Amino acid sequence: MEWVDGLNAAIAYIEEHLEEELDYDTLARIACCPAYHYQRMFAYMAGVPLSEYIRRRRMSRAAVDLQTGDKVVDVGLRYGYQSPTAFNRAFQAVHGIAPSVVREEGAVVKSFPPLRFTVTIKGAEEMEYRIEKRDAFRIVGISAPLDQDIEKNFSLVPQMWGKAAGNGTITRLAALMEGSPMGLLGVSACGDGEAWRYWIAVASEREAEGFETYTVPAAVWAVFPGEGSSLSLQELERRVVTEWLPSSGYVYGSAPDVEVYLNADPANAKYEVWIPVVKQEG
């Protein structure tokens, strides 16, 4: 499958450039996937964020270098750490021991081999979905910048929702809702070449003081319904990437990811996950 080949090509590139600064946009281009979607897909398939995988691979190599006699300061600089303190902290986080004691008798370090992606289609549990082609639509709401390393955003989005619920923003947005998709929206607008932002918004053509606007581009969407807590939503997203996408005949498109909350009760929400897709060639 071509997109799995792309993921493995990006892994090979990481291996060849562990001693250099790795650019996530470059890795995404090698994987033939928009940068934001590449990081999400990697995390779901590998079980760890991209940044953590790179950190583990560097520290695995660093341990070998230290075992063969290289100096701690040289190894730290080799893998991008400008201070011995930063390298020591990163090394201990992975191996549980300081780099200075690696060559001592009985010192135990960890090895994290390079990944190789394969796909096993299980089909154990059905998934409902529909394919929907939509013109561009306008949203009204609030937004905040996202970091290019999506691991750093894991706390930002829940904090945004909590603040919006507490200060009345959600109620004000609900009053502006019109058109489709009809629901409270969580939009990850992270297209290549644009500043990454996360939106809490509604579809609307109305103007409202204090809110921003954004146009979600025209796209084809695979839409997956679900219900439950935020954890069940994350599990649905994981299944979409690891189970549905490999056998679907589609690959990720370049439009935003959209979460549509039909019932915003955080403990028992009804929602839809919209992922942009394009038909895979060949």
- Convert the pLDDT of each residue in 114-153 to its tens digit: 999 886 655 567 889 999 999 999 999 999 999 888 878 8
Task: Assess whether pLDDT exceeds 80 at residue 49.
Answer: yes
pTM of the model: 0.84
Beta pairing class for 219-228 and 184-189 = unpaired
Angle, in degrees to the nearest 10, between helices 50-67 and 84-95: 100
Sign of CA dihedral 96, 101, 103, 104: negative
Interval 215-230 mean pLDDT: 91
Interval 179-189 mean pLDDT: 92
Task: Assess whether pLDDT exceeds 70 at residue 265.
Answer: no
Q: What is the pLDDT of residue 266?
A: 60
Residue 129's Cβ-count burial label (10 Å; 0-12, 13-18, 19+) is: middle
Residue pair 237/230 in contact (Cβ under 8 Å)? The answer is no
Predicted confidence band at 30 (pLDDT cuts at 50, 70, 90)? very high
DSSP characters over 161-184: HHHHHHTTHHHHHHHH--SSS-SE
Q: How far apart, in whole angstroms, are the C-alpha atoms of residue 201 and residue 226?
A: 20
Residue 192's Cβ-count burial label (10 Å; 0-12, 13-18, 19+) is: middle
Q: What is the pLDDT of residue 154?
A: 79
Q: How far apart, in whole angstroms, are the C-alpha atoms of residue 156 and residue 99?
A: 33
What rounded mean pLDDT belongs to the chain? 90
* Rounded (10°) CA dihedral 154, 157, 158, 164: 170
Q: What is the pLDDT of residue 74?
A: 96
Q: What is the pLDDT of residue 122?
A: 59
C-alpha to C-alpha distances, 228 to 181, 231, 235, nearest whole angstrom: 19, 8, 10
167 C-beta neighbours (distance < 10 Å), count:
10
Interval 258-279 mean pLDDT: 86
Interval 163-182 mean pLDDT: 93
Q: Which of 42-46, 58-62, 124-128, 228-232 has the least mean pLDDT?
A: 228-232
Task: Assess whether pLDDT exceeds 90 at residue 71.
Answer: yes
E strands, 113-152, are 130-134, 137-145
Interval 179-206 mean pLDDT: 91
Task: Assess whether pLDDT exceeds 90 at residue 254.
Answer: no
Cα–Cα nearest to 236, from 260, 263, 212: 260
